[in-house]
Structure 1
Amino acid sequence: MKNYKYIGLFLLSLGIASCDVNNELEEIPAVVEQEVELNTNGLDFSSYVSIGASFTAGYTDGAMFKAAQENSFPNILASKFGTNFSQPLMNDNIGGLVFNGNVVASPRFYFDGAGPAVLPAVPTTQLGVPASGAPFNNFGAPGAKSFHLTFPGYGALNPYFGRMASGPTATVLGDALARNPTFFTLSEVGGNDVLGYALSGGSGVDQTGNLDPSTYGGSDITDPNVFAQVFSGMVNALTANGAKGVVANVPYITNLANFTTVTYNAIPLDAATAGALNGGFAAYNGGLDQILAAKNAGALPPQALSLLANFDADEVARRKVSYQAGQNAVLILDEDLTDLSFLNPALTNMRQATPDDLILLASSTILGTTVGGNPLAINGVSVPLADQWVLTPEEQLAIKTATDSYNSTIASVAASNPNVALVDLKSVLEEASTGITFDDYTMTTSLVVGGLISLDGVHLTARGYALMANKILAAMDAEFGSNFTQATNGLAVAGEYPTNYSPTLR
C-alpha cells in the first residue's frame, strides 16, 4: 500500500506540473531540396540512336509489346536527354506476331501465381507489315548477333528489323547512320553471339577459328575475331562525324535466371522409388565396371583400347547412377563422356548432374514427365535429359572464353576512342546475383521475385531497364563530364517502373 501511495502522489504532482507546460509544438519547417540544374557539358542529343538486340528493343517476358518498348532503356534515356525518340511499336501489349492468321511468335509471359505462363491471347501485330513512326531512333533487333547488324537484307531474316528496315537490302547499322546520329548507344552486342549456344544447351558449335559467319548455325558461338572486326567497324562508323556514345560490355549470361532457377538436384524421391530405380540401373552400373576391368586387363582389341584411352575409374564413378530418399540429381546426357556405345549400345553417355552443371529453365516443363506413356520412362530420372536442356562445365567454359574475348575488344575500342564511354553491364549482373540496390529496392537475378530479370529468365524487367539506363548515365558523367547523377530528375526512379505486367494489359 505504501508504494501505491507514493506512485499516486507522483502522478498527481506530474499532472499539476503539466498544467504549466505549453503543449503546442512548434511547426517543423519542410526540408526543401535544392534544385540542381542539368549540365550536359556540350553533349548533343538532337539525334540519338540506339543500336543493339533485344535489350535495346525493350524485349521483356519473352516477347515484344508496347508497354515494354516504352520502358526500354533507350526510351528512358531519351526522356532524360529531352529529345524526340521514335520506336517501331508493336500493335498491342499481348506481344508476338501473326502471319496469315497463324501465330508465328508467341504472346508474352505473365505470372499466374505459380510461375511464368503464356498469355492466353492472340497477337495483332502482323508479320511483314512495316511499323508506323518511321524514321526510327531505336534500332534494337531481338535475336541479332554482332555480324547481323551489318548484314544487307537482314530484315528478311529478322521479323523485328523487317518492321523498321528502310528497304530490302538495308542493314541495321546503315539505317542508324542514315539518321546522322549525334549520340548513340551500342549495347549488348555480342550477347546473342553466345546466347543461342547457351539456350540450346550447348548443342551448337564453337566457331572459334572460323572467320566465315555465313557458315554458322543459329546456335553457334561467333569467332572472337569476327566479333572484333564487326564491333570495331561499327564504332568507327558511328563516331566518324564526331558523334559520341556509350558501349556496353557483355555479361556472363550463365548468371541469368534461365540457367540458375532449376537446381541440379531437382528430383524428389521416396525410399521405395529410389530402391526400384537403383535396381533398374544395376546392370548399367555393372556394365561400366566390366568395360573398365576389360580395358585394364588388356582384354579388348587395340582399336577399342585406343578409343578408351581416357576411360578410367574416375569416369566410371561419375557415370554410375544412384538414387536415395530425398532430393536427387537430374539424370543428363554428357557428350564429353567417353563413347561406349560401340561396345554396349545400352551404355549411353549419361550421368547424374553435379552443382557445376546448369539446367535450363525450359527443362522444368519436362522434368518428371513420362516418355511415350511409359510410367517407368521418366525424363530426368530414368531417361536422361537431352543435351539441349543442360550446360555442362565444358560448354560453360566455351561461353565464358568467348565472352571474355568479346569484352576485351569492347574495352579496347572504348579506351582508344575519346568519343566513347564504357558501361560495365557485366559487373552490374554479377553484383545483382547477390543483390544490387536501386533506390529503395534490392534487386537480384532470381526469377519472379528478384525484380531485375523478367519472366523469360534472360531479359530485364522495366525496372531492370531503368537501372541499366542509370548505369549508362553514370558512365556518361564519368567520361564526358555531364551531371545526370547529381541533377534534379537526372536519373530514372525505380518506383516508376514495374517488375511485371498484369495479364489484363492487352
Structure 2
Amino acid sequence: MIKNFKWLLLVSLSFVACNNDDAVINPDSSDGMALTAGSANFSKYVALGDSFAAGYSDGALFIKGQEGAYPNVLSQQFALVGGGAFTTPLMSDNIGGFSMGGFQIPQFGTRLYFNGVGPVPVAGPTTTSITAKLTGQFNNMGIPGAKSFHLVTPGYATLNPYFGRFATPSGTTVLADALAQAPTFFSLWIGGNDVLTYATSGGIGVNQTGNINAASYGSNDITDPNVFAGAYSALVNGLTVNGAKGVVANLPYVNTLPYFTTVPFNPLTSKVLGTGSTAVGDATIDALNTQLYGPLKAALTAFQAGDRINLLSKTVANPLLIKDESLTNLSAQLTAAFTPSLGAQTAAFYGAVFGQARQATATDLVVLPTQTAIGAAPTASDSGVGFAPPSPLNKFGITFPLQDKHVLIATEVAEIKVATDAYNVSIKAIADSKGLAFVDTKVVMDKLGKGGITANGYTVTSAYVTGGAFSLDGVHPSPRGYALIANKFIEAINMTYGSNLKGVDLSNYRILFPKSL
C-alpha cells in the first residue's frame, strides 16, 4: 500500500542566491595583503577523526569523496602558506566499500547515486580488497566507524578494515601512527560515532553512561562521558606534547541530520492510504477504524491507556503505528480483552503485537531507511514476533507497529542529547586549556536546519537531497558540505592563530556525485 512511498524528487540542483554571506570566508576577496600562516606551522599537518575526516559520502568511501574531505581541502589551503604534502589512504576506485575474492562484501556496500526517483547503489564489485595493505604513512587518518576511544585502542586495526589497510603495524593505535609523523599542526573531530550508531539503529543499543569499561560496549552503544573525556584528553595531550598547534570541533546533535528529519511521523493521508485515490483511502480508513483502531482504542481505554491510539482521520495526515519499548506492556491485558471475540490464540497474537503499540508523535524521529518499510509486509526476521504476520496485520506502520530499529523515540533522543552535551563540555574545556582553535559545529548544524547558510551565491541547508549540504546517506556531507566545513575550520584557525587563509568557493563543489565518476 505504502511500499513505494516516494522519495523526494530532485527538482533542481540550483539554489536561491542571497546577497549576504553568513560569516563564511569569501575566497574571491582581496585585501591586498600576502597570505600568512600567522603563528601556526602547517608544514606537517595530520588529521584525526572518523568518517567525516575520511571523506565518507553516499554510504561509502571512494576516491572522489576522499579527495573532497575537509582535511584535504584544508591541506590545499595550508599549502599556500608553507603546508607540506598531505597523503590520503585512497581506496582503489569510485565504487566504494570492500570486496573479497572479487565479490562485494554486503556490509561494505557500494556508493549511492540519485537516479531521478531515489538513491540507488552503483554496480559493483569494487576493486578495493579488504585484505589489501597499503605502505607508508598517511596524513589523513580519518577512520570510518571510529569512536573516540578507538583512536587510542591498541590493535584497533584488527577490528576496523579502514584502519587495518594502512596501520603500521596492526597492533598500533591511530594516535601512535599520527605521532610517528611528528605533526606540527593537527585537526581533531571525533565523537559523533559515540552516539551515532545508537541513533541510526533506532536506539537498539545500551546507554553505557556509568560504565567505564569500554571493552564491554556493543557497536550500537552510547559511550560513557567519562570514557569519552579520558580518550579525548589522551588524544589532545599526545598531539600537543611537542608544541603542535591544532583545531578541534565539537559535536552537533546527530538527530538533526537528514537521516532523522526526512521521513514524517504522520504520512498517512487518505490519498496515500488509497495509493493515489482519496475515495479508496477514505474507504480504507473506515475499514481500519472499524476492524482495528476502534477495538484497540476501546480496549486500551479500559486500561487507562486510550491515548496510545486514536481513530484515523480522513481530513488530516495520520501518524504511523509504532512500538514504544518504554511503555508499560499491556500484552496480557489485551489478550484477555480480545479472547472472547477472537479466541485465545488470535487474542494472544494481538496482545503480543499491540502491547506496547502507539501512534507516533512529532517527538518521534522516523529513520531514513524506514521510508521504504512503510506499508511493506513484516518478515519473520523483522516483525519482532518470530514469524511473518498474516493479513490484515501485514502492513508496517499501518496495521503492524514499526519496530525499535525503525524509529528513534523521544526518550532515546533525550539520551543522545545528554551524552552529546557532556562530550561537548569536555571538548571545549580541553581545547581552551591548550589554546586550540575551536569550531562550533553544533551552531553550524543549527543554522543549516533553520534556513541554511549562504555563501558564494548559494544557500546550503540540511534538507535531504535538495539542501546541498548532505549526501544521499543522510548522515555524511556532500562535496559542497565538506567545503563548507573546511571554511568553518579555516575561520577558527584564522581567529586563533592570526592566519588569513581565504577558504574555498562553495560554487566550485557539486552537491551530488553522478552515477559515473
Provide structure 2 residue ranges, at least 5 long, that are not aligned to the other structure.
Answer: 1-27, 274-280, 336-347, 379-387
Q: Report the counterpart of residue 424 of structure 1 in structure 2.
A: 440
Higher relative contact order (CA 8 A, sep 6+): 2
What pairs with 1:85-484 in structure 2 (closer than 5 Å)?
A: 85-104=86-105, 105-131=108-134, 134-187=136-189, 189-267=190-268, 268-269=272-273, 270-281=281-292, 282-292=294-304, 315-317=305-307, 319-325=308-314, 327-343=317-333, 344=335, 345=348, 346=351, 347-371=354-378, 372=388, 374=390, 376=392, 377-418=394-435, 420-433=436-449, 434-484=451-501
CA contact (8 A) 2:146 2:193 kept: yes
Q: Offset of 1:463 from its aligned partner? A: 0.8
What letter corresponds to residue 231 of structure 2 in structure 1?
V
Q: Offset of 1:373 from its aligned partner? A: 8.6
Residues 47-102 of structure 1, C-alpha deviations (whole Å, 9 max, x = no match): 10000000000001110000010001001111111121000001101111101233
Report the Cα distance in structure 2 between the residues aligned to 1:452 and 1:196, rounded to whole angstroms.
21
What letter corresponds to residue 322 of structure 2 in structure 1?
I
Report the Cα distance in structure 2 between the residues aligned to 1:213 and 1:110, rounded to whole angstroms.
36
Q: Offset of 1:200 from its aligned partner? A: 0.8
| Aligned length in residues | 444
Seen in structure 2, the aligned counterparts of structure 1 residues 497 and 322 have a Cα distance that, compared at 3 Å, is same
Q: Offset of 1:46 from its aligned partner? A: 1.4
Report the Cα distance in structure 2 between the residues aligned to 1:198 and 1:432, rounded to whole angstroms.
20
Report the Cα distance in structure 1 between the residues aligned to 2:247 and 2:375, rounded to whole angstroms.
46
Q: Offset of 1:375 from its aligned partner? A: 5.1
Report the Cα distance in structure 1 between the residues aligned to 2:492 and 2:29, rounded to whole angstroms.
29
Q: Offset of 1:111 from its aligned partner? A: 0.5
Q: Is residue 2:50 matched to residue 1:53?
A: yes
Provide structure 1 residue ranges, at least 5 long, that are not aligned to the other structure.
Answer: 1-30, 293-314, 485-489
Seen in structure 2, the aligned counterparts of structure 1 residues 32 and 278 have a Cα distance that, compared at 3 Å, is closer
Report the Cα distance in structure 1 between the residues aligned to 2:485 and 2:229, rounded to whole angstroms.
24
Q: Offset of 1:119 from its aligned partner? A: 1.2
Report the Cα distance in structure 2 between the residues aligned to 1:461 and 1:266, rounded to whole angstroms.
27
CA contact (8 A) 2:100 2:129 kept: yes
What letter corresponds to residue 266 of structure 2 in structure 1?
N
Report the Cα distance in structure 1 between the residues aligned to 2:29 and 2:48, rounded to whole angstroms.
40
Report the Cα distance in structure 2 between the residues aligned to 1:33 and 1:47, rounded to whole angstroms.
27
- Identify the range of structure 1 (50-59 vs 323-332) with the bigger mean alpha-carbon deviation: 323-332
Whose Rg is larger?
1
Report the Cα distance in structure 2 between the residues aligned to 1:224 and 1:367, rounded to whole angstroms.
35
Residues 199-222 of structure 1, C-alpha deviations (whole Å, 9 max, x = no match): 010111111000101111111100
Q: Offset of 1:42 from its aligned partner? A: 3.3
What letter corresponds to residue 116 of structure 1 in structure 2?
P
Q: Report the counterpart of residue 15 of structure 1 in structure 2.
A: none
CA contact (8 A) 2:38 2:499 kept: yes
TM-score, length basis structure 1: 0.85
CA contact (8 A) 2:298 2:306 kept: no
What letter corresponds to residue 94 of structure 2 in structure 1?
N
Give the secondary-structure state (helix, strand or coil) at the position aligned to 1:222. coil
CA contact (8 A) 1:89 1:131 kept: no
CA contact (8 A) 1:90 1:131 kept: no
- Identify the range of structure 1 (266-275 vs 223-232) with the bigger mean alpha-carbon deviation: 266-275
Q: 1:64 aligns with which of 61, 66, 73?
A: 61
Identity of aligned residues (%): 45
CA contact (8 A) 1:261 1:446 kept: yes
CA contact (8 A) 1:444 1:450 kept: yes
Residues 151-179 of structure 1, C-alpha deviations (whole Å, 9 max, x = no match): 11111111101111011201111101111
Report the Cα distance in structure 2 between the residues aligned to 1:356 and 1:143, rounded to whole angstroms.
27
Report the Cα distance in structure 2 between the residues aligned to 1:194 and 1:32, rounded to whole angstroms.
39
Give the secondary-structure state (helix, strand or coil) at the position aligned to 1:422. strand
TM-score, length basis structure 2: 0.84
Report the Cα distance in structure 1 between the residues aligned to 2:310 and 2:37, rounded to whole angstroms.
63
What letter corresponds to residue 457 of structure 2 in structure 1?
D
What pairs with 1:18-29 in structure 2 (closer than 5 Å)?
A: none
Report the Cα distance in structure 1 between the residues aligned to 2:219 and 2:166, rounded to whole angstroms.
22
Q: Report the counterpart of residue 15 of structure 2 in structure 1.
A: none
Q: Offset of 1:327 from its aligned partner? A: 2.4
Report the Cα distance in structure 2 between the residues aligned to 1:429 and 1:173, rounded to whole angstroms.
28
CA contact (8 A) 2:365 2:408 kept: yes
Report the Cα distance in structure 2 between the residues aligned to 1:276 and 1:448, rounded to whole angstroms.
36
What letter corresponds to residue 44 of structure 1 in structure 2?
N
Give the secondary-structure state (helix, strand or coil) at the position aligned to 2:221. coil
Q: Report the counterpart of residue 4 of structure 2 in structure 1.
A: none
Q: Report the counterpart of residue 6 of structure 1 in structure 2.
A: none
What letter corresponds to residue 111 of structure 2 in structure 1?
R
CA contact (8 A) 2:56 2:476 kept: yes
Report the Cα distance in structure 2 between the residues aligned to 1:33 and 1:256, rounded to whole angstroms.
35
What pairs with 1:69-84 in structure 2 (closer than 5 Å)?
A: 69-82=66-79, 83-84=84-85
Seen in structure 2, the aligned counterparts of structure 1 residues 41 and 389 have a Cα distance that, compared at 3 Å, is same
Report the Cα distance in structure 2 between the residues aligned to 1:115 and 1:392, rounded to whole angstroms.
26
Task: Tell me how large the CA RMSD over aligned residues is.
Answer: 1.6
